Amino acid sequence: MTAEIVNLNQFRKSREKSQKADQAAENRRKFGRTKAERKAEEKAIAEVEAELDGKRLDTDKSTDETEKPG
């Protein structure tokens, strides 16, 4: 019975490599979006902002009659 010889540096490097691959897969799942998905989100945001801007009441304080000069 002979024991299998293991190079600890190779074992450590392969373990780190697999951990990095797992982290990369997790990041792709969390942050990865296609260009079409990003464009669709930007378009939706622009539509919402345009709708809100259309409903905004402009109140310019410099033309209010409440402010009387000196």
Quick one: tokens of 33? 């979006």
Q: What is the pTM of this model?
A: 0.43
Asked if the structure places residue 37 within a domain, the reply is yes
Domain-embedded: residue 63: no
Q: Would residue 29 count as lying in a domain?
A: yes
What's the pLDDT tens digit per position in 22-67? 999 999 888 888 889 889 999 999 999 999 998 888 777 665 555 6
Q: Do the domain assignments include residue 31? A: yes
Full domain range(s) for residue 28: 17-54
Whole-angstrom Cα distance, residue 33 to residue 10? 34
- The pLDDT of residue 70 is 56
Give the count of domains, the chain.
1
Q: For residue 24, give both structure tokens.
A: 């990369």
Q: Residue 68 above 70 pLDDT?
A: no
In-domain check, residue 27: yes
